Chains A and B, each alone.
Chain A
């Protein structure tokens, strides 16, 4: 018992007060898309405690992309930091800024969050064929008390192929009408 208490004490005492590194990355890491066809990327955080500290109380990330290759369509912050959180998102010159601060208490944040979850969903459209990368130029994250969390980041790669020519709706309609007409004539 005494040894157990000592071991427990040592374990608790030597455990760092802060948390280890968390990860903020893009998912999926590889997107195979088509020029002109939008696709979604999730911004995912992982490495947090599962309903325990450390939880994520705030983040501010800048995601870089090549505007000659990708057109940014929209971002949707899913409110993972709780109702009423302060949010900001905006893109300019190939940099997408996402930031959010929770207004919940640290205990409520712990209870709300699992060890990994989606922060935001981003929508891009390839505008040119080829391969391009998305990465992070800034990643700040804080725990429930506003203390900084060490962050590792993971980007994504997008491979876009050319547009597959498709018959237009009007052409399809005309072909259908022609088929119906021929079928009627054949019956008569």
Chain B
């Protein structure tokens, strides 16, 4: 939960004080903010409470595209958020209900490089000063997905209308697709038991590939499938008429299918006249609580050489967050040392930290030897004293 109390002024102060009193003194411990995220795909989980604004940062180079989406952490859409993106104190974009239900989403193309700040607050908090009541009854959890990509984004591969032709979601979680009439675009993502996935569609300018501020040009339907069976779908989750949703993967699912089609096509057969229009698809996987450390690449559930290879390939990059399974030593950076630690878990369904070789640099063998010597000394002394007393 990333929260920080903000300075407030003016009319917001009255509301803020009132909400603060209502919220009481009990507040969950907060990490230092802003919380630094690292691309190309970063996820974070937090919770909103009155008076709090959560702040995240991510490095974006000039010309790169930044996609930010908020999801309900409990497969719902009732957390009511407001979202802003700023650079150097200048607010570049804000959104209220662009996402699923009352959640927020926004995308932009960076005209300048730098550390972009993402602020998350309650929907009433126009000024992002914490004047909101979201989470007053109990903390309102959310999930944040942030994608950064340099255009052109990886493209879909047509034909992908049938499940058997589905495109794999790239490692960065971002790709560009074009939906035409009679067209269905299908994708697939490996999942493990207990995972949930978050999927967002953003409108792109067909000519430039840049995110569009308005999403009224296309009307999509988004479906999530398990072995061909639809288990969740969304029509106008937003922004505009675009779709997005987040759901837990069904028990036993190892792959989740994602289908993008026109909003009239309830059967996902391509029966729609919509398009052509371009979209960016942002997909993230949230691992189950206690997710397996080192389990960085498909197939998930067991640590194998593919996981070590994925960590090795990502070396010398920042971890996407504290839960990044590639950062085995939790130092914030993925290195060969993480790959080396994880190789010890190949073939295992769990990956505990390497066995401790000593406490504070003291070898257990040495401690045992000392204890044995002391015991032997005590017993000899006891024998000697018994002999003397006799």
Inter-subunit contact A13/B367 (CB<8 Å): yes
Q: Which of B336, B344, B354 has the most CB of A within 10 A?
A: B336
- The answer to whether B308 and A17 have CB atoms under 8 Å apart is no
- Contact B357–A145 (Cβ < 8 Å): yes
Is B372 on the interface with A (CB-CB < 8 A)?
Answer: yes
Query: Which residues of A, 1-60, contact B by the 8 Å Cβ criterion?
Result: 2, 5-6, 8-18, 57-60
Which chain B residue has the least Cβ–Cβ distance from A87? B312
* B312 touching A86, Cβ below 8 Å: yes
Query: Smallest Cβ distance from B319 to chain A, in angstroms?
Result: 16
**In the complex, what residues of B have CB within 8 A of residue A86's CB?**
308-309, 312, 339
A-B contact count (CB 8 A): 103
Q: Which single residue of chain A is at the shortest CB-CB distance from B331?
A: A148
**Does A175 sit at the interface, judged by CB under 8 A?**
no
Most chain A CB neighbours (cut-off 10 Å) among B308, B339, B363: B339
Given A60-B316, A88-B312, A147-B354, A101:B366 Cβ within 8 A: no
Residues from chain B with a CB closer than 8 A to the CB of A58 are 336-337, 339-340
* A13:B366 contact, CB within 8 angstroms: yes
Q: Does A99 contact B (CB under 8 A)?
A: yes
Please give the number of chain A residues whose Cβ is less than 8 angstroms from any Cβ of chain B in the complex.
Answer: 33
A10-B370, A13-B362, A101-B343 known; A2 and B337 CB under 8 Å?
no
> How long is the Cα–Cα vector from A125 to B289 in the complex, in angstroms?
54
Return the CB mask of B11-36 against A: 1 if under 8 Å, else 0: 00000000000000000000000000
CB <8 Å contact, B376 and A140: no
CA distance A122 to B245 in the complex (A): 52
B83 interfacial by beta-carbon distance below 8 Å: no
Interface residues as binary, B204-221 with A (CB distance below 8 Å gives 1, 0 otherwise): 000000000000000000
**B386 in contact (CB, < 8 A):** no
- Is there an interface contact between B344 and A146, defined as CB atoms closer than 8 Å? yes
> Hey, which chain B residues are within 8 Å of A9, CB to CB?
366-367, 369-370, 372-373
Q: Which of B338, B340, B341, B357 has the most CB of A within 10 A?
A: B340
Return the CB mask of B309-353 against A: 1 if under 8 Å, else 0.
100110110000000000011000001111111111010000000
Contact pattern, A 97-125, Cβ under 8 Å of B = 1, otherwise 0: 00111110110000000000000000000
B358: interface (CB < 8 Å): yes
Residue of B nearest to A104 (CB): B343
Q: Is B251 an interface residue (CB 8 A)?
A: no
Q: Which residue of A lies closest to B359 (CB)?
A: A17
What is the distance, in angstroms, from A17's C-beta to the closest C-beta of chain B?
Answer: 4
Contact, CB under 8 Å: A14 / B337: no
Q: Bound state CA distance, A13 and B370, in angstroms?
A: 8
Q: Which of A5, A10, A11, A102 has the most CB of B within 10 A?
A: A5
Chain A residues near B (Cβ < 8 Å): 2, 5-6, 8-18, 57-60, 86, 88, 99-103, 105-106, 140, 142, 145-148
- B interface residues (Cβ-Cβ under 8 A, vs A): 305, 308-309, 312-313, 315-316, 328-329, 335-344, 346, 354-355, 357-358, 361-363, 365-367, 369-370, 372-373, 376-377, 380
